Structure 1
Amino acid sequence: GEAVVPVANCDVKEYNSNPKEQLPFKEYVKYWKDYIKNDYHSSRGCLYLKDWHLSRAFPEQDVYTTPVYFSSDWLNEYWDAVAVDDYRFVYMGPKGSWTPFHADVFRSYSWSANICGRKKWLLYPAGQEEFLKDRHGNLPFDVTAPNLQDRRVYPRYSQSQPPVEIVQEAGEIVFIPSGWHHQVYNLEDTISINHNWVNGCNVAIMWCFLQDELAAVQREINQWKDPKDDWHLQCQLIMKSCTGIDYKEFYNFLKVIAENRISVLEKGLDEEASAKNTPKAAISTLGMLHAVFDLKRTVKVLTSLSANEDFKKLDLTSLSPPPEALLHHLKAAIDTALL
């Protein structure tokens, strides 16, 4: 009850999201009970507990087990390894709480499991968001807002396809593909578990997203470009502040994923390690061929990263092992595994 949780006010727009505050969990539960008793009204607005890192806050509690279908999860595997963050969240909100229009971090996949309650999802396949931008290139806050019909503001809205609409019941899991923008409503009092995740099937999409983000930053501050200064480093810094990662950390991300799989391929996994809830145990469960598949996808993206001109401008001497050495090790591990 004393845990501090992030709570968004669904009745207020701040830039293109809802403003958040930090509340003790027990205070939020009391608010929620009072909100229900008052026929879902409060002077504080409609508050939604969202993006709560429950697993990270209480690592000793075995709160739930990730479904095997989603267990190849590079994103959380990496952030667990560096012990900085994770992308596992709990959402708890009353009827009427909602999440504005968005796509997920790094253009990752996401899955959402309803523990109780019902959600309505409005899903737009990747690419449809281009038709929903206003004349300045900004996406809407609320994709159901009447002003999207105004061609002077949203000139391409009429070209968009209707969203895929899903009603998710308690006990059901929704999978969101990479790049699918969505807006979500709680039709009842709802508790859900949500993960963002990346693996060998969409890591190339993540890499494309990072390149697009860096290019956008470079365009924005191009007028201050000076070949003599550290402009390219400033671009990386700004990109990381916006997205949560820069090119050098993306390299380390690929390295951690690769080394975990190489370790399993080269050394195997003893019975004690297999019984533990660790990334290497998950790799072993998925099988050796899956580990090889992951390494092949890593090689492809790492090769592209190593050849990228913006990456080569960075000080790569701090990277260990160097990209060329890691690539060589990856290819050798794949060849050995396939013998």
Structure 2
Amino acid sequence: GEAAVPVAKCDVREYNSNPKEQLPFKEYVEYWREYVGNGYRSSRGCLYLKDWHLSRAFPEQDVYTTPVYFSSDWLNEYWDAVAVDDFRFVYMGPKGSWTPFHADVFRSYSWSANICGRKKWLLYPAGQEEFLKDCHGNLPFDVTAPELRDKRIYPRFGQSQPPLEILQEAGEIVFIPSGWHHQVHNLEDTISINHNWVNGCNVAVMWCFLQDELAAVQREISQWKEPMDDWHLQCQLIMKSCTGIDYKEFYNFLKVIAENRISILEKGLDEESSSQNHSKAAISTLGMLHAVFDLKRTVKVLSSLSANEDFRKLDLTSLSPPPEVLLQHLESAIDTALL
């Protein structure tokens, strides 16, 4: 009850999101009860508990099990390994709470399981967001807002396809593909579990997203390229502050994923290590061929990263093993596994 939880103010706009505050969990539950009892009204507005890292906050509590369909989850596998963050969230909110228009972190997949309640999803396939930008190139805060039909503000809105609308009931899971922008409304009091995840099927999308993000940063500070000795490093720092990762950490991300799979291919997985490492247990459950598939996808992206000019301009001496050595190890492991 005393756990601090992030709570968004759904009635307030701060840039293109809702501002958040930290509240004790029991205080939020009390607010929620009062809000419902008062006919879904409160002087505090509509508050939405969202992006709560419940699993990370209470690792000893086995609250739920990830469905096997989503168990190849490189994001959480990596961030669990470095013990810094995770992308597993719990959402709880009253009828009328909502999440503004957005695409997910790193252009990852996401899945959302409704424990109770009902949600309405508005989804736009990747690329459709270009038609939803205003005359300044900004995406809308709310895709249901009437001003989107004003051609002076949103000149290309008329070219967009209608969103895919999903009504999600209790006990159902929604899968969001990479790069699909979406907006979500709670039609009833709702509790859900949400994960962002990347795996061998969309890691190339993540890599493309990072390249686009770096290019955007480079354009913004291009006038400082000549007078600034460490301009390339500064671009990486700015990108990391905006996206949460830079090129060197992306290399480490690929390395951790690859080494876990090499370990399983070379050593297998006994029951003791399975109980201690859920990520490796998940890989083993998916099978050795899946581990080989992951390695092949890792090799493809790692080869592109290693050849990337912006990556090669960084000080790579801290990377262990060096990229070329890791690539050789991966290719050797794949060849051995396929014998």
User: TM-score w.r.t. structure 1 length?
Assistant: 0.99
Corresponding residue SS for 2:141: coil
Q: After superposition, what is the alpha-carbon deviation per residue over 1:140-170, rounded to whole angstroms, capped at 9, x for unaligned?
A: 0000110001111111000000000000000
Structure 2 Cα separation of the partners of residues 226 and 23 of structure 1: 47
Q: Which amino acid aligns with 2:280?
A: K
Are 1:196 and 2:196 counterparts? yes
Structure 1 Cα separation of the partners of residues 119 and 211 of structure 2: 33
Structure 2 Cα separation of the partners of residues 334 and 15 of structure 1: 47
Q: Hey, what does 2:327 align to over in structure 1?
A: 327
Q: Hey, what does 1:142 align to over in structure 2?
A: 142
Structure 2 Cα separation of the partners of residues 271 and 55 of structure 1: 23
> Segments of 4+ in structure 1 off by > 6 A?
none
Quote the RMSD (CA, aligned, Å). 0.8
More off after superposition, 265-274 vs 126-135: 265-274
Q: Hey, what does 2:210 align to over in structure 1?
A: 210
Q: Hey, what does 1:56 align to over in structure 2?
A: 56
More off after superposition, 268-277 vs 308-317: 268-277
More off after superposition, 228-237 vs 94-103: 228-237
Q: Hey, what does 2:106 align to over in structure 1?
A: 106
Distance apart, 1:106 and its partner CA: 0.1
Structure 2 Cα separation of the partners of residues 262 and 121 of structure 1: 39
Structure 2 Cα separation of the partners of residues 211 and 227 of structure 1: 23
Q: Hey, what does 2:296 align to over in structure 1?
A: 296
Cα gap change, 1:11/1:17 in structure 2, threshold over 3 Å: closer, same or farther? same
Q: Which amino acid aligns with 1:307?
A: A
Structure 2 Cα separation of the partners of residues 276 and 232 of structure 1: 40
Q: Hey, what does 2:255 align to over in structure 1?
A: 255
Corresponding residue SS for 1:317: coil
Matches within 5 A, 1:1-339: 1-226=1-226, 229-276=229-276, 278-339=278-339
Q: After superposition, what is the alpha-carbon deviation per residue over 1:195-250, rounded to whole angstroms, capped at 9, x for unaligned?
A: 00000000000000000000000001111112651011110000000000000000
Corresponding residue SS for 1:43: coil
Distance apart, 1:271 and its partner CA: 2.4
Structure 1 Cα separation of the partners of residues 235 and 335 of structure 2: 38
Q: After superposition, what is the alpha-carbon deviation per residue over 1:6-30, rounded to whole angstroms, capped at 9, x for unaligned?
A: 0000000001100000000000000
Cα gap change, 1:174/1:72 in structure 2, threshold over 3 Å: closer, same or farther? same
More off after superposition, 160-169 vs 273-282: 273-282
Cα gap change, 1:283/1:227 in structure 2, threshold over 3 Å: closer, same or farther? farther
Structure 2 Cα separation of the partners of residues 227 and 262 of structure 1: 44
Structure 2 Cα separation of the partners of residues 139 and 161 of structure 1: 15
Structure 1 Cα separation of the partners of residues 219 and 143 of structure 2: 27
Percent sequence identity over aligned pairs: 89
Corresponding residue SS for 2:263: helix
Aligned residues: 339
Structure 2 Cα separation of the partners of residues 260 and 312 of structure 1: 25
Structure 1 Cα separation of the partners of residues 257 and 83 of structure 2: 15
Corresponding residue SS for 1:75: helix
Structure 2 Cα separation of the partners of residues 183 and 248 of structure 1: 32
Structure 1 Cα separation of the partners of residues 94 and 69 of structure 2: 29
Structure 2 Cα separation of the partners of residues 155 and 100 of structure 1: 21
User: TM-score w.r.t. structure 2 length?
Assistant: 0.99
Structure 2 Cα separation of the partners of residues 62 and 213 of structure 1: 36
Structure 1 Cα separation of the partners of residues 234 and 169 of structure 2: 46
Structure 2 Cα separation of the partners of residues 211 and 188 of structure 1: 40
Distance apart, 1:274 and its partner CA: 3.1
Distance apart, 1:279 and its partner CA: 1.1
Question: Which structure 2 segments of 5+ residues have no match?
Answer: none
Structure 2 Cα separation of the partners of residues 274 and 6 of structure 1: 33
Q: After superposition, what is the alpha-carbon deviation per residue over 1:87-128, rounded to whole angstroms, capped at 9, x for unaligned?
A: 000000000000000000000000000000000000000000
Structure 2 Cα separation of the partners of residues 56 and 254 of structure 1: 22
Corresponding residue SS for 1:318: coil
Question: Which structure 1 segments of 5+ residues have no match?
Answer: none
Corresponding residue SS for 1:211: helix
Distance apart, 1:273 and its partner CA: 2.4
Corresponding residue SS for 2:114: strand
